[in-house]
Amino acid sequence: MSSASAHVVIVGAGHAGGTVAALLRQYGHEGPITLLGEEPIPPYQRPPLSKAWLKGEADADSLALKPLEFYTENNIDFRPNAVATKLDRGAKTVTLADGSTVSYDILILATGARAISLPIEGKDLAGILFLRTAADAEALKAAVGPGKTLAVVGGGYIGLEVAASGRALGAEVVVIEREQRLLARVACEALSSFFQDRHVSHGVRFELGATVTGYLGRDGHVVGVRLDDGREIACDAVVVGVGAHPNEELAKDAGLECARGVVVDLDARSVTDPSIFAIGDVAHRPMPIYDRMFRMESVPNALEQAKQAASAIMGRPRPPGECPWQWSDQYDLKLQIAGYAFDVDEIVVRGEPASGKFAVFHLKGDQVQAVEAINSPPEFMMGKMLILNRKPVNKAKLADPSVSMKEVAA
Amino acid sequence: MAKITYVEHDGTRHEIDVKPGLTVMEGAVKNNIPGIDADCGGACACATCHVYVDEAWLSKTGEKSSMEESMLDFAESVQENSRLSCQIKVSDELDGLVVTMPESQH
């Protein structure tokens, strides 16, 4: 069967799944497309759930990637509440929880990742929330407001965005982080302390170097958390943001090579089975600029891999290499991050953190590996370019904000 | 509804009725118009929804914020009439607006 008439089945209707379905039609795919989603609603933007949506600045319509009619008009068989339970690569079928099966010629796994929960006392109490889905966000929105106290477990980006939105909605917020500093896994110390100061000035409390050992409950609802030093912190709800785990079980059980994520090539194609692709949070993919493979959790990554898979299926040229990036909005701060800080031997801070406008460059030799830019689009945009083209930079110029980024990159 | 004409770089025209309140970017993305990527979904964080606003409409589409200006400064093939379409809110006033997409959003 030629791929033009192939039946493409997409498991997972998140940002990656929804995008690849739309791209296949945009690129002229004529065969049937089936989009299986576990949630009751069509694909939507997740990033606003912790930001604009939580603060009431975006509604469900504006979150949707495409209106519902789009799927019918484009002959995409979108099936909500469809949970895939088994993949049979020999028969080329996916079995759903209701026992039905769907046959595919080409399969795209876009099953995403799930929030990690803490296996501690009281973990099943009501009011212990996560933030992955619109339903999670609805529950969180209902739980925060004036007079409420929100305990955030995990001082990563999700936790900090929720903390900022929680304060905007009038709730008391306490963030509990296991490490001695915020964003310990992803950012340098300068950035950690900058964000901590900003959150403190907005009234967020921090418990750093503290581990939550149990949730306290009354009548089945969480009323507090216990820390490892024995202290108890009262709260009305808990948001757990301690990372995510790829939903790779379907692939693993079917014998596809996985390494905390389905292992794919530059076309997002499984290295085990050429008729299967994996995209987005669930994929363990090559990243040539760093000469290594890893798994990313970001919208730009989901979009990029959707393009790779759709291009490969349609016989279009592979999209040009990209510099991975992501962003976070907290209060009046726009953080834009390009690249990943692999093998870094030097950090250059450009600008004055106290001004609220600065950028942190992570260097390996004289090459930029990553940049974190706070309210600094030029540093982000040029940084992204420098990371992608691996051009050596003059560190003295880079560290001097009076030298324009265009000159630094020239 | 406001009728907005999106012109692809190769000249292909798409006339779309867009609901006031949405952005020019959302009008394109929700209708699967090629040429506007909008990677960040409208957070003014990526400059992949770059368009050229037809000269006649420039004053009606409003002023650029400093963030938008700054992001555009580093986009490719920027012109005087460049805008980030996620920062243009559609209103009845914009009925008839014509925007053209650049060759690439990267």
- Give the model confidence (pLDDT) of B77-98 as tens digits: 899 999 999 999 999 999 999 9
- The answer to whether the Cα torsion of B35, A338, A129, A197 is positive or negative is negative
Other beta carbons within 10 angstroms of residue A231's beta carbon come to 11
Q: What is the dihedral of CA A395, A399, A405, A409, to 10 degrees?
A: 0
ipTM of the assembly?
0.85
Q: Is the pLDDT of residue A1 over 70?
A: no
CATH H superfamily, domain A128-240: FAD/NAD(P)-binding domain (3.50.50.60)
Does the fold of domain A332-409 match that of domain A128-240? no
Q: For chain A, what percent of residues have pLDDT higher than 90?
A: 88
Q: What is the pLDDT of residue A305?
A: 97
Q: Which chain B residue's Cα is nearest to A409?
A: B74
User: Considering the entire predicted model, what is its pTM?
Assistant: 0.93
CATH 3.30.390.30 corresponds to the domain A332-409? yes
Is A317 in CB contact (< 8 Å) with chain B?
Answer: no
- Which residue, chain included where needed, has tokens 């030298």? A403
Domain boundaries of chain A, sorted by first residue? 3-114+245-313, 128-240, 332-409
| Cα-only R_g, chain B | 12
- Strands A172-177 and A149-153, by their bridges, are parallel
Mean per-residue pLDDT, A239-249:
96
**Structural domain A3-114+245-313, CATH architecture:** 3-Layer(bba) Sandwich (3.50)
* Residue closest to A217 by CA, chosen among A117, A151, A127, A142: A127
The token duo for A161 is: 């965005």
User: How many Å lie between the alpha carbon of A30 and the closest alpha carbon of chain B?
Assistant: 16
- Which residue, chain included where needed, has tokens 């870094």? A344
Model confidence at A61, pLDDT cuts 50, 70, 90, reads confident
Spatial neighbors of A124 by CB under 8 A, at least 6 apart, are: none
**Structural domain B2-100, CATH architecture:** Roll (3.10)
The token duo for B35 is: 């040429």
Q: Is the pLDDT of residue A23 over 60?
A: yes
Q: What b-and-e string marks burial along A368-400, b requiring 16 or more CB atoms within 10 Å of the CB? A: bbbbbbbbbbbbbbbbbbbbbeeeebeeebbee
Cα–Cα distance for residue pair B92/B19, rounded to 1 Å: 9
User: How many Å lie between the alpha carbon of B32 and the closest alpha carbon of chain A?
Assistant: 7
pLDDT digits (tens, 9 = 90+) for A311-351: 999 999 999 999 999 998 889 899 999 999 999 999 999 99
Q: Please name the amino acid found at residue B29.
A: V
User: How many Å lie between the alpha carbon of B93 and the closest alpha carbon of chain A?
Assistant: 21
Is B32 in CB contact (< 8 Å) with chain A?
Answer: yes
Q: Is the pLDDT of residue A60 over 80?
A: no
Cα–Cα distance for residue pair A212/A239, rounded to 1 Å: 12
Q: Which chain A residue's Cα is nearest to B35?
A: A26
pLDDT digits (tens, 9 = 90+) for A151-181: 999 999 999 999 999 999 999 999 999 999 9
* Residue closest to A372 by CA, chosen among A409, A408, A347: A347
Model confidence at A2, pLDDT cuts 50, 70, 90, reads low
Phi, psi of A310 (to 5 degrees): -65, -40
